[in-house]
Chains A and B, each alone.
Chain A
Amino acid sequence: MKRLIVSLTILIFSTPSASAGPSAPKELRDLHFGEALYCAYQGDWFDAISRLDTELMQHYGVDEPERDTLHYHVGEAKFDVGDFELAYRMHRRAGRAYTAVIEGNVEEPVRNEAIFRLARLYFQKDQPVNAEDAVESIRGDVPPEIRNDLDFLRAQIHMANGRYPDAVRILRGLKDAKGLQGFATYNLGIALIKDGKELDGRQVLDRTGQISGVDDVTLAIKDKANLVLGFKLLKEKDFEGAKLVLDRVRLNGPFSNRALLASGWAAASQGRFERALVPWSIVVTREVTDASVQEAMLAVPYAYGKLNVNSKAAVMYDSALEKFDTEVDKLGASIKSIREGNFLRALTREELKQDPDWVVKLRNLPQTPETYYLLDLMASHDFQESLKNYLDLEQLRTKLYSWEKDLDAFEDIIAQRRAYYGPLLPVIDREFRRLDSQMRLRLEQRDRIEQRLTAMLVVPRPDYLATAEERVIGERIALLERKLTTGGTAVPDEVDARINRLRGVLHWNVYTEYDSRFTEAYKDLRDLNREVDLLKRQYTAFVRTRQAATQSYEGYDDVIRRLRSTIGKAREKVGQLMARQGQMLETMAVNELNARRDRLAKFQTKASFSMADSYDRATRAQIKEKEKGE
């Protein structure tokens, strides 16, 4: 019993710190990180991991990660990816993520927080020795926000490793810790009892059962403490004490049926059957599938029998027997239904996932097993984990199926693009090559002009800046001279003077206007540069568009073929695992229902005998009454 108590404690109390979700940064700089958080806040762990993984991969892939927007959140992102993986029950990967932080070049508080998370992971995976090794390696500064959680985890680890005095020492310091109210004292009580300090432990549990608080968690821990202590006292035959403690359990809490039943037994064990009838009469009117209610259906007539109200006892045994018969039939039908696969089909119904009370709603579905009988089982850790795995596998199966369809669509898109661009691109390429050669020529000319102008800054060359008209005139003068001197004839002086004058005018203009022409030439070059820049941009845009056109349908075949094969293999694996996981869930459910049916069968026998016994007593009593009357 003690061992069970400890395991229940650990099961309950590992939850609060483990369920703490990621917190958003004060100023979000990376939208994709925010998107991953958006998925995580909704419990959509697959998409959260997928997005954050992609973002981290891209971050590490860039040349200058410090210029990437994720740089501002990379520390949180590394932790978060581990937390998301843990929430998605990928403990191995989560462990690797935390280890990477621990082994990285990080500050002491960050490292210590990562160790805390790793230790918590080990503890949740039932590896308390590894968890202890991890927490022992914490040195130096611990972030203030995790100090209490770390101490609480340390205490839990010590308890799991049998180091109760150490756990007691830590838990004593956490009694008033915020967020751990009730948790710390409950564990302290258990640790003290396990450490042999029975009286101290009971006192602490007793105080835990009376703590003030109105929230559900506090009320639940109060009930739990009272129930555990009550059972302990009941087992030790301290019936008065047990009843006192058990009567503190709320009438509408999750433990109320058990507490009411046990409270009745505490009174009955003292021979106070009228007193026992009070809690039993409450519990007997409740949901018939509940184990405590079924037991109360026998306990109530038992009490009436003890009070010599045998006729009423007989009628109540008869009624109980009738109900047990119905329930046994229902259980048989439920077991059959589970074996026919209805349970698994019901678990994966889409509309149920939207409803937080889906387990209870299952009961209302046609052809689903009697799930109220499975509520205890469904609350157990192993069943929960198996069920979550089954639902995760179902999600993966759906995703893989839809991705295969996506690949079909991608191939269709690629084929259409190929059909469209295929005939167009050769014509475009031809025209492009023609324009490209023209462009290259013009660019070379521009470069030559620039080189010449640069050289003219050092060695002025006015002749380079002569206008086209001046060049033509210069050539005509030269031609005239050649004609006049053909055959060795002398040029008349008057003509020669006119030619020289013309050449002089030409020379004068070219040399006197050199500076303004040079400036003008530079302005023209600047204008040309603007045009060239525009041309280059258009050229780049064209090249990019041309490249994009090719990339829109080329180079995908291998990737798609490989992905199709990988998806196919993953689907096969998921299918196999779903079958095994489903079988495991069905076996768990059938075992549970069988156990409940066997128990009911025993109750049927007891009810039959007790009913007969009660009728006998009632008859004998009637005869006695008659005899007295005569």
Chain B
Amino acid sequence: MFSWQRGVIIGISVLFLSAVAYGQEISKEQIKGLDEQVQEVKSDVLSIAAELNQLEEKLLYPSNTQVAVFVSLANGETFRLDSVEIQLDGEPVAYHLYTFKELEALRKGGVQHIYTGNVRSGGHDLQVLVLGKNAGGADFKKSGRFTFDKDVGPKFVEISLAGKDITMNDR
């Protein structure tokens, strides 16, 4: 019986090694070789993505009409952002409901590219509606109305959200 006991103890050690047991059939070299090929194909697909991005921009959003709207959170904001709606010249063009991950990304300083579209040169009206909860858990609703001028080059508009107000940075 003691030999069985010893066998079981050895069994515990074998358990620690079980994760590498398959190594007898799949070598490290095989794993490494395949991993390198996966890296290569990732690189190929990233190049395709870059070319497609350029094509898409040229074809769908040429610079003379392109307008892009970005959303950011002001530094240190703790309110819970639920959704953002963007209206351009009175037309709703973007609506986004935020997941926890997206909200965290905004809190860390990331900027969301919420809308890309085309407008004529000249003045335009931008309306932003924000729904969320403040630090105390109460619902809040805020809106902001802005204007921007579109000229020959692409237009980038940043909407910065804070608990107190919404601001627009025209770039």
Contact = CB atoms under 8 A, between A and B. Distances in A.
Contacts of A580: 34
B110 A24 contact: yes
Contact of A302 (B1, B104, B156): B1
Interface in A213-236: 231, 234
Given A31-B171, A38-B110, A587-B22, A50 B39 contact: no
B69 to A, nearest CB: 10
B158 interface: yes
Contacts of A570: 41, 44-45, 48
A610 B11 CA distance: 18
Given A4-B17, A591-B21, A591-B25, A396 B158 contact: no
A548 B111 CA distance: 30
A331 to B, nearest CB: 14
A377 B158 contact: no
Interface residues of A, number: 93
A376 B8 CA distance: 18
Contact of A552 (B14, B59, B109): B59
Nearest to B68: A31
Interface centre among B9, B25, B45, B158 (most CB of A within 10 A): B45
A268 interface: yes
B156 A31 contact: yes
Interface string A23-57: 11100100110110111111100100110011001
Q: Is the interface of A mostly helix, strand, loop or mixed?
A: helix
Interface string A534-550: 00000001001100100
A544 B101 CA distance: 42
A383 B19 contact: yes
B21 to A, nearest CB: 5
Contacts of A551: 58, 62
Interface in A410-427: 410, 413-414
Contact of B55 (A49, A231, A559): A559
B51 interface: yes
A403 B34 contact: no
B97 interface: no
B41 A573 contact: yes
A31 B159 CA distance: 11
Interface string B28-67: 1011001111110111111011111111101110101100
A89 interface: yes
Given A413-B59, A577-B34, A595 B18 contact: yes
A92 B43 CA distance: 10
A34 B114 CA distance: 12
Contacts of A592: 18-19, 21-22
B148 to A, nearest CB: 14
B96 to A, nearest CB: 12
Contacts of A53: 46, 50
Contact of B39 (A89, A403, A545): A89
A60 interface: no
Nearest to A413: B59
Nearest to B30: A584
Contacts, number: 217
B108 interface: yes
A42 B31 contact: no
Interface stretch (A137-145, A291-299, A358-366, A517-525): A291-299
A28 B111 contact: yes
A50 B15 contact: no
A240 interface: no
Interface in A541-590: 541, 544-545, 548, 551-552, 556, 559-560, 563, 566-567, 570, 573-574, 577, 580-581, 584, 587-588
Contact of B9 (A265, A403, A406): A265
A265 B59 contact: no
A50 B158 contact: no
Interface stretch (A147-155, A190-198, A386-394, A475-483): A386-394
A491 interface: no
Contact of A25 (B43, B102, B109): B109
Given A35-B110, A292-B15, A587-B25, A54 B105 contact: no
B34 A41 contact: no
B52 A298 contact: no
B146 to A, nearest CB: 16
A401 B44 CA distance: 15
A449 interface: no
Given A88-B42, A570-B48, A581 B34 contact: yes
Given A37-B110, A54-B50, A587-B25, 17 more contacts: A31-B68, A35-B113, A37-B109, A38-B110, A39-B110, A42-B101, A42-B110, A46-B46, A54-B54, A90-B43, A305-B1, A393-B38, A396-B41, A414-B59, A570-B45, A591-B22, A591-B26
Q: 8 closest pairs, A vs B, by CB?
A: A24-B109, A34-B111, A38-B110, A41-B105, A380-B19, A591-B22, A37-B110, A50-B49
Interface of B: 1, 4-5, 8-9, 11-22, 24-26, 28, 30-31, 34-39, 41-46, 48-56, 58-60, 62, 64-65, 68, 70, 72, 101-102, 104-106, 108-113, 121, 152, 156, 158, 171
Interface of A: 1, 4, 21, 23-25, 28, 31-32, 34-35, 37-43, 46, 49-50, 53-54, 57, 69, 88-93, 231, 234, 258, 261-262, 265, 268-269, 291-292, 295, 298-299, 302, 305, 376-377, 379-380, 382-383, 385-386, 389, 392-393, 396, 399-400, 403, 406, 410, 413-414, 541, 544-545, 548, 551-552, 556, 559-560, 563, 566-567, 570, 573-574, 577, 580-581, 584, 587-588, 591-592, 595-596, 599, 606, 610
17 contacts: A23-B108, A37-B110, A38-B112, A49-B46, A69-B171, A90-B43, A295-B8, A302-B1, A380-B20, A400-B45, A413-B60, A563-B48, A574-B45, A577-B37, A580-B34, A592-B19, A599-B14
